Amino acid sequence: MKMTVGAVLDRVTTDLERSGISGARNEAEVLLSHLLGLRRTDLYSGTEKAVSVSQAAQLDKMVASRCTGRPLQYITGVQRFRRLSLKVGPGVLVPRPETEMLVERCLELLEGVQDPAVLDLGTGSGAIALSLATERPDCRVWATEISEDALWWAEANLKNSGLSNVELGYGDLFSPLPSSEKGNFDLIVSNPPYLSQEELSRAPVEVRDHEPEMALLSGDKGLATCIRIIREAFIWLKPGGHLVIETAGTSQYEDLRIFLARRYEGVQITNDLTGKPRFVEGRRP
């Protein structure tokens, strides 16, 4: 029996809805357009186009995987992030829209700075580092990552980008950097682990059961990595250089604000698009 794009799209949407997937229609479009190699808008200009039996079978496997909670981006292998199309998969955190705002804030802080030096700690897929290097081509970017799996994805994305102004380093936070870089950075940025075990237990299944714990968990209150970064970043920043961290949780922000204010100036908290506190920053005197 002939299966049309329109009919398959409706069936996939229904299957995803029955599994409790929010935004089922949107995800159905993503999966089908990925399978057929079409833009999502093109699905609706060819709703009577036939979908082959083998394509339908492959799509069914993708849908079944998504219904188990596997992240959509792990299934398609791609996540759009600002101007980039990033490769992602098991072992690396999926970049979120909130982190695009983090990049935007970094770009604002770098306005007027010529040939800035930037450090991205815990780069994951490379989303922040590659975006800054793309949108500020005069920027020199270091990016470090302690997870070998995540670093593999960052290296793949760097190669795919063709950028020559990014240096990747394997190791814990600042450890891959040569000591000669101390005091050289105009900006240090990080989207570090910031969840407690209790918070992770309440996270959506695609996060809790599929994304790497190393990129999510950070001590009893979720603050351990953030505090380390705040403490250690000071000697790597130039005077006047900025530190910007993405985190979450109302109680976290007050703790981090107090900790930052001990050594940094201009400490502030910025909300994300939903109005929730999301980013903390400070400036080295």
DSSP states of the chain as a string? --EEHHHHHHHHHHHHHHTT-TTHHHHHHHHHHHHHT--HHHHTT-TTSEE-HHHHHHHHHHHHHHHTT--HHHHH-EEEETTEEEE--TTSPPP-HHHHHHHHHHHHHTTT-SS-EEEEES-TTTHHHHHHHHH-TT-EEEEEES-HHHHHHHHHHHHHHT-SSEEEEESSTTTTS-GGGTT-EEEEEE----B-HHHHHTS-HHHHTTS-GGGTB-STTS-HHHHHHHHHHGGGEEEEEEEEEE---HHHHHHHHHHHHTT-EEEEEEE-TTS-EEEEEEE--
Structure confidence at residue 2 (pLDDT): 65
pLDDT of residue 66 exceeding 90, the answer is yes
pLDDT of residue 132 exceeding 60, the answer is yes
Structure confidence at residue 285 (pLDDT): 97
Cβ atoms of 175 and 153 closer than 8 Å: no
CA distance 25 to 274: 23
According to CATH, where is 1.10.8.10 located in the chain? Answer: 3-68
List pLDDT tens digits, range 195-248. Answer: 777 777 777 888 887 888 878 767 777 788 999 999 999 999 999 999 999 987
How large is the average pLDDT for residues 79-101? 95
C-alpha dist (Å) from residue 76 to 71, 79, 97, 124, 150: 9, 8, 18, 18, 17
CATH topology of domain 3-68: Helicase, Ruva Protein; domain 3 (1.10.8)
Structure confidence at residue 46 (pLDDT): 63
pLDDT of residue 133 exceeding 60, the answer is yes
Looking at the structure, give the CATH architecture of the domain made up of residues 78-283. 3-Layer(aba) Sandwich (3.40)
pLDDT of residue 1 exceeding 70, the answer is no
According to CATH, where is 3.40.50.150 located in the chain? Answer: 78-283
Can you tell me which residue has the tokens 């909300």? 271
Check: pTM over 0.95? Answer yes or no: no
How large is the average pLDDT for residues 124-146? 98
Structure confidence at residue 135 (pLDDT): 98
Can you tell me which residue has the tokens 């188990």? 68
List pLDDT tens digits, range 25-54. Answer: 999 999 999 999 888 888 887 667 788 889
CA distance 102 to 189: 8
Residue type at position 49: K
CA distance 257 to 274: 21
pLDDT of residue 259 exceeding 80, the answer is yes
CA distance 260 to 174: 18
Closest CA to 235 of 194, 191, 180: 180
